[in-house]
Chain A
Amino acid sequence: MSTMISLENVTVSYQHAVEHVASFKEYIIRKLKNKMKYEYFHALNNVSLDVSEGEVLGLIGRNGAGKSTLLKVIAKVLKPTQGKLRLHGRVFPLLELGAGFDPELTGRENVYLNSAILGFKKADINKRFDRIVEFAGLEEFIDAPVRNYSTGMVSRLGFSIATDVQPEILIIDEVLSVGDSEFQKKSESRIQTFCHSGTTILLVSHDLDSVKKICHRVALLEHGQIKAVGNTDVILDQYKST
């Protein structure tokens, strides 16, 4: 199996002001008085990890352990301060509810907007449009403005757009299943299909049952470092016992 994602000694650290300075006036005054205090924060500290093609890897750990930061590095949202990231496939993040939707536009227009944000080509979407809308079950509402949609409808559409084509690398941050129970079944079975057909999946979840259910391997993060990585059951037991 070839490597899909490879992290080599990745460190993400940032400087942040001890007190939050959100106003320009305050910033200038503090700069003049030389009263800006910074501290360095290591969100990730020397993390190395390889993920193979078709592998489903779970990331667990307490709040602030660096799980989301790690996903952001892999999604190219955050640039590593040190170390390097290599990707051998395109990454698709499952966006949280409503991110990338413009409420003033219709569902149809939003399908195109969201697809473009994900990097799909327009000609491509033209062909797949009906299938996306059908999966989301929104045929009747597709020309209504999204501000009239319920949150469930928006997340169904978002899920449907992001997963219409089997992604090479899929990133899931807590949103394993969306919508009503019927759609939850549909979306879960779609993820299951991806699991079995070669998509590399990274899953961050506090729901240990779903981690146990779908992950081939689990990495446990603590204070920005990988504490343990390996067999799902072993790591989960280790995590529960601490």
Chain B
Amino acid sequence: MTKRHRYYYDSSRRLNPLFAELRELVRYRELLQLLIVNSIKTRYKRSALGVFWTMLNPLLYMTVMVIVFNHLFRFQVANYPVYLLTGLIAWNFFSQTTSQAMNNLIWGSTLIKKIYLPRSIFAVAATGNGIINLLLACIPLSVIMIFTHQPIYMTWWFVPVSLLILSAISLGVALIVSMIAVFFTDILDLYQILLQALFYLTPIMYPEEILPAWAHKYLILNPVYDVVKVFRGPIYSGQLPSFQALCYAFFAAFFILLFGWWFFTRKADQIVYRI
């Protein structure tokens, strides 16, 4: 038998799992692409409203919030609908990506027990999915912006950078929580409660200024607010984040992603032992 590409594998000559996982992910990029496309397909097949649902969902939510809070915050926040919607889009990206990563990995763990796959593929697919949903959500955002005469700032160019930071943080958290979810299924409910708490602790539907002075100090400890601000600023107020804020956001995102990746790859071989 002649084989042009002779395959060779030696279990003792494995790269550091930090890099090995990355290399495998690149090798399975076609599967990654399929997982992203498929989950969008199944999602829209199942609901009659299809792709419009993704756009309608934040809009409906926003309408309710605007009715309730617009009056309350009218002096502090200039264009409340846009303020709220930009915050919501960034938040939804974070909460959906991390939650979906947990469900993906639980679904995938039955597969991982039978065939080799890079285990991080499920969290990365969830992040890819989140990016697509975020881009779709920018359509209703644009409609609202036109409706409310929100100026379109030049700073929009910065949005892809914000998205990068947002993705890094979300993927990092997704890796951590999805790995925990494989071992303890009750974390799914616990995480929803945590998300709820974090949502109210983050200035998404209220302006930062209403927080008491002592709370401002602690706001810096909430990395989610950081990315919300980095995403909201260029769209809502035409302001680029200060160099210091940007460095902090980059550093936080990088650290969380790195920690998540380290934690995940360290535990990944143990998934198989879980029934």
Closest chain A CB from B118 CB (angstroms): 11
Collect the chain A residues with CB atoms within 8 Å of residue B243's CB: none
Collect the chain B residues with CB atoms within 8 Å of residue A29's CB: none
What does the 1/0 interface line of A78-101 toward B look like (CB < 8 Å)?
A: 111000111111100101100110
Are B115 and A117 in contact, CB atoms less than 8 angstroms apart?
A: yes
B116 interface residue per 8 A CB criterion: yes
Binding-face segment, B27-35, B58-66, B153-161:
B27-35
Collect the chain B residues with CB atoms within 8 Å of residue A119's CB: 27-28
Collect the chain B residues with CB atoms within 8 Å of residue A27's CB: 184
Closest chain B CB from A55 CB (angstroms): 13
Closest chain A CB from B250 CB (angstroms): 31
Q: Specify which of B9, B42, B270 is in contact with A105 (CB 8 Å cutoff).
A: B42
B-side interface size class: 35 or more
> Which A residue sits closest to B14, measured CB to CB?
A79
Q: Specify which of A23, A87, A95 is in contact with B184 (CB 8 Å cutoff).
A: A23
Within 8 A of A (CB), among B100-139: 110-117
Closest chain A CB from B106 CB (angstroms): 13
Are A95 and B115 in contact, CB atoms less than 8 angstroms apart?
A: yes
Closest chain B CB from A14 CB (angstroms): 5
A37 interface residue per 8 A CB criterion: no
Are A22 and B185 in contact, CB atoms less than 8 angstroms apart?
A: yes
A109 interface residue per 8 A CB criterion: yes
Q: Please report whether the interface of chain B is mostly helix, strand, loop or mixed according to DSSP.
A: helix
What does the 1/0 interface line of A112-141 toward B look like (CB < 8 Å)?
A: 110011110110000000000000000000
Closest chain A CB from B128 CB (angstroms): 15
> Which A residue sits closest to B9, measured CB to CB?
A87
For the complex, give the distance between the alpha carbons of A199 and B40 in Å. Answer: 38
> Which A residue sits closest to B274, measured CB to CB?
A22
Closest chain B CB from A19 CB (angstroms): 14
A222 interface residue per 8 A CB criterion: no
What does the 1/0 interface line of B68-102 toward A look like (CB < 8 Å)?
A: 00000000000000000000000000000000000
The 10 closest A-B pairs by CB, nearest first: A24-B184, A116-B31, A84-B12, A76-B116, A104-B42, A85-B11, A87-B9, A23-B186, A79-B269, A84-B11
The residues of A with any CB-CB pair to B shorter than 8 Å are: 14, 16, 22-25, 27, 53, 72, 75-80, 84-90, 93, 95-96, 99-100, 102, 104-105, 109, 112-113, 116-119, 121-122, 168, 198
The residues of B with any CB-CB pair to A shorter than 8 Å are: 1, 3, 6-12, 27-28, 30-31, 34, 38, 41-42, 45-46, 110-117, 180, 184-187, 190, 269-270, 272-273
